[in-house]
Each structure stands twice: as C-alpha cells, then as structure tokens.
Structure 1
Amino acid sequence: MPSALPEGDPAPADGSLPPAALAELGRRPFEVYVHVPFCRVRCGYCDFNTYTAEELGPGVTRASYAEQAVAEVRLARRVLGDVDRPVETVFLGGGTPTLLPPDDLGRIVRAIDDELGLAPGAEVTTEANPDSVDLGYLERLREAGFTRVSFGMQSAVPHVLAVLDRTHDPERVPGVVEAARAAGFEQISLDLIYGTPGESAADWETTLDAALACAPDHVSAYSLIVEDGTALARRVRRGELPMPDDDDLADKYLQADERFAAAGLGWYEVSNWARDDAARCRHNIGYWTGADWWGIGPGAHSHVGGVRWWNVKHPKAYAARLGEGVSPAQAREVLDAETRRVERVLLEVRLRDGLPVTALDAPGRAELEALVADELVEDRADRLVLTRRGRLLADGVVHRLLA
C-alpha cells in the first residue's frame, strides 16, 4: 500500500512504556483511535493504510477483526497499569469502519469501556460512507454507545466523485443524515474535498449547497492533495489529469468559509467548522493540543507522555502478533522537549483558540510583529491566532515562527 511507516527505534515486544511516559498520564485527556483498514473500493486519491478484499490475501478476514482490536485494548490495559484513566473520546476511522457489522463496532467500544473506562459524556465517533449504512444500522450503532457520525460526502457532483473513485450516490447523503438524526446521534459531520481536477467553482458551489441543506453540526473541508504512490498521482504523472492549482484551492477555501459562516458554522481549525463549541470534534482537538492516545489497529499511531509508536502495517502481520501474545508495535520514538515544542507550534497555530505566545522561542516571538503587519495573525498580546489570510498561508506562518 502507498502509506509508509517511519523507521524509529525498536519497540518492546510486551509494549511497555518508559516510567517517565507513564508518569505523565492524567495530565492531558486520554483518547482511543481505532483504525479499521477495510474498504470496498480503493479511492484513487487515498494513501491511507487500507485494503480491499482482494488485497488482504489469504488468512485475513473482516470477521476476526473485532476480536483482534479487543485483544489490543486488553494489551493497552496491561501496559498503562491499574490506575483509572477515563477515555474522553473514541474515534473509529479507516478505511470504512461501517463495513463491519454494527455489533462488531459495539464490541470494540464495550471493550474500551470495560478495560479502560469511558468518561461520562465521552464522545464516540465513527466514520461512515453514505452507501455503507441505513437507519437500522445507525440505530444499532447508537444503541452501542456511538454519539457522533462523520459521513464521507466529499462532493455532490457525480463527475467529481468519479475522478476521486468514490462510488456512492451523492443523492444518498441527505437520507443518511436524516437517518442518523432519527437514530438519535448527538452530532453529525460531513467530510468534503475541494480542488479535484475538473471541479469548477460552480461544482464546488453545488457541493456546498448540498452539504448545507443537510444542516450538519460540523463540516471538514480539505483541499485535495496528490499523494505519491496513489492511482491519482499516476494519472497526473501521465498527463491524464492536471495537478490541483493553488489559486483555485485558495478561492474554493474562501468560498467555503464564507458559505459556512453565513450558515452559522464557525471555523475552529483551519479545515474544520462547527455550529457551536459543543459540535467541535473533541477527538481531533486532542491531537492538535497534545493529548495522549492509544491507536488500535494495523499501522495505527499512538502517543503517551512524549513516546510515539506505530503498529505493523498489514492486517495479517497485526493479527499474527496479537495471536502470539506480543505487541503489534513496529517501532517508536521518544520525543525530546524541543521536538514536542515544535510540534505544538505546528498544530496549535491552526486552531481558532490560538497558540499561547509563551510556546514560542525568542526568535519566534520576535517574528510576531512582522506577521501582524503582514495581516497573517491577529494583533494580540497573549495568543497567536491566524487571520483569514493567515489560514490560507498557515504553512508559511509556521515556517517563519520556527525558522
């Protein structure tokens, strides 16, 4: 598969963590991510660690995946020790988690609650393709404790979906959103992609119209990135499709931001908008603000107390390790204080709540006045918050802060 894992240092076979990392538990929210690596069809732009049935090979099935995920949850309990560390959020991503039966997804969430404990009011999210669920499926997920669902809408325009190799009917989206409401989900999110080759401004406007007509609580809108090793990258390299144009991407971002704001959706991260603070994705906020989390599944990444590790990539290797009673972790790295500070700047700069100026070193603080003069950040004494123009040039802002 196109995704590559970093090198890192060897991870212990028992998954154990340094005492210094364990000592930090409880200082930040604790989260669980569950990677479900299965897809019905591989999308041409996707470089995530996912597999169709044909790519899995012999001896690997979806039917046994919940059992493997539960085994890793139990491993997490052993590694983290006996102190209660309630899980604030759970997020099932992929891949397409909803290719598994709802009872399997519920079994994984129950194991997290049984072994680690869900905090009161925990946010429990699953991603879903519009063609992978119906009312009955969503009702069973809600009964299993899921509170939030994120639908991969991407576009409302058939020819744009075709370039992305998305197979769902865009006309299904309003129906599944309504079904999720009827099932009692507290929050409903839509994921969109803009900048697909051949997508006009009118096409993007059609997608925005369709998304807002669903009255979602939350929207994520990401510019298309042509990742090396994907089918889309090969088509671009052969000249079949053009590379996304930076000016077009900027125009479509502004188009989206204006429409979302007018509909009452405020930005809280560069690519995410929510109806109010309660509708923000708490799980993703945890990533952006340095929370601890355990990543379950093939290729999943974890972070606890400044130690980051990642699991073996292929489902067959993942299942084999758990079957042998050893950790599926392939490698890890221990982050030093400066690396953690730099990563904090990289991530928190993207948030509407901003980055405390105290997180910057002396050269970074010295750059603030120039960034304000360039209308890239707001003129504040205590926090660095991007302006709208700054959001378009966020990578450049970070570069100047860390140069």
Structure 2
Amino acid sequence: MKILSVVGARPNFMKVAPLHRVFLEHPSIKSKIVHTGQHYDVQLSDIFVRQLNLPQPDHCLNVGAGTPTQQMADIMLKFEGILHTEQPDWVLVVGDVTSTLACALVAVQLGVRVAHVEAGLRSGDRGMPEEINRILTDSIADLLFVTEQAGLDNLRREGVADGKVHFVGNVMIDSLVQYRQKANELDTLDSLGISSQSYVLVTMHRPANVDTESGLERLLQLVDDTAKYKTVLFPLHPRTRVKLKEFGLMQRLSAINNVQLLEPQGYLEFLNLMEHAAIVITDSGGVQEETTYLNVPCLTFRTSTERPVTVKLGTNQLLADLNPETVQQKVLEILDGQPKTGQVPPLWDGQTATRIAEILLRHP
C-alpha cells in the first residue's frame, strides 16, 4: 500500500512526522511525502524537516507566494502530475490549510482515496478560510480521523457515515511527546536572557487580527498592557511582520518596553518557550492544543475556536470579545494565582499515529 502524505504549512510537519515514522515500521506500507511549498519561508518549513527527523520530501511543488486562489490552482495542477506518476492507494492530508483541500480535491477527481487527519473540527466562523477548507475536505474524504469529541458530534450532525469516522486522538501531541525532552535540553531561555515563568509568549497571525489597522492596534495595546507585568516574547510570523510594516506600526511595536521581538522559531525552540511560559496569548489552533497538554495557561484572542476541548477540559480561555482590556484582566487573574485548571483530553497519549496506521492497514 502506497500512501502520499501532504505537508504545506508549519503545523502539517508536526502531524505528518509521527505518521511517516510509524508507516515506515510496516513493510506493507510505502510512505512518501509531498511538500507543496505553501509556506515557502525556510524558518517555517525546512527547519521543521530537520528538527522532526523527516527525510527530504519525495516531491516538492514549490508553490511559494500568492493569493489563496493562486496557490490552490498551482497546487492542484502540480499535484495532479504527482498522482499520475505515483499511483498511490491513499492521499493523506492533515489540518485545514490551502494544501489540504487542494490535494484532497485532486485525489478525489482522480479516484484516489483520501484520509483526513484532524477531521471534524468546526469554529462556526465561515469567514475563516480554514473553516471552509475543513468542511469541504471532510465532505469528500473516505476516512476521517478525529481528535476530540466535538469532531465526532460535528460529523454526525453533518450526516457523515459513522463507518468513515474514527476517534484516534491528536497526532500533533505525538510529536510533542516524542520531542519534549529534546526541546528542554536546548538553551533557548538562556540565549534570550530570560528564566522559566518570567515571560508571556505571544503569537498572532490570523487575518482578523493582523490584516487591518484596527486589528493591529488592538494587538499593540494587548502587548503593551501585558509587558507591564511580564516580559513579552513575540515571535513575528511573516504575515504579521508584513502587515505591521504596511500600516507603519512596526516602530511603535519595537518601542514598547519589556518586549522581545523574535524571528519565527523552530519547532523545538518554540516548544521549549511554550512549556516555560507563565502565559501564552495566541490566535493559533495548534498552540491551544499544545498548551493544554503542557498545562500552560492559554488565552486565545479569537471570536471562536474549532478546538473546544481545550476550553472544556484544557487550560485554554477564549477571549471572544477581542478586547485588550479582557486580556489584561485574565493576565492579572493568572499572575495572581488563579489560572484555569485543565486536564489532558482522551487519547492525547502519543499513540495516535499508531492507531491511524492500524486503521489504514485494514483498508489496503
């Protein structure tokens, strides 16, 4: 059985790495990786290949920059040729990025079965491109691998046949479990001149937060308020950096006291920074999950989350009003010793990739 696994953006690497590793343990599985190049920045792709011990991808589509429509069209045209050459039994897509939907569509059109890892997640916000990608990919996939109970509930409500759906856990946590110790052996904190619990880690890149001047003004206020209590570490996503410059706000951000602006971090470095943060403030999906597993307080600056288990069971709090004053209130509560207590969700145990492989082997 031949499986082509698709990666395109940062979170995809952490999900595909444990799957590829487990696939290689089975002589009956031939595993190959296709990198679309959707994230073309070296710091957002190549470094993850190295740190996660992935081989160089078997195929690189080199899509690069462009609008989502341009990227999708380019991926589909190039991926079609790969499928004709490889003739796989399965195309495995992960997450909810442009590459996920584009490659799933091409596979279905050519009669190749599709497995979707991290299926069933819904934010309820169709203004997010990721929400459309999730819904459409789930509607055409042959197997859907689910991370949490909400995913099962969503797919059942949408009429997806129970036989297609499998609750397997969270494959991103597989990577975290495997590399947590290695991350903690790094000198990331020392190199930045900080100590454990002395800082708040901030990540922001969603269009709703960084694509408008008003969104960036809220972000600057959030950072300024937080920096009054703890050092703020802010790795700047390329999108965020571009928008700050576009609106002439980079200098204002740089002038805020007690803030360290960082380049995008490698997987291990960022994992280390997350684990030792007093608080993480984010608009990322995966960070909500990782902080829940690490038992680190997380404040999610979004109107909704597709990962409700991180709020229901985990350490995540959703700041749906997008008000910096609410962030300040929650930061003070946490620093005053009133963090939200959490627990690790079911099947987030580091064995998700093994369960997925076993199911795929039953569908050669």
TM-score, normalised by the number of residues in structure 1: 0.29
Query: Going by fraction, where is helix more abundant, 1 or 2?
Result: 2
Greater RCO between the two (CA within 8 Å, min separation 6)? 1
TM-score (norm 2): 0.32
Larger Rg: 1
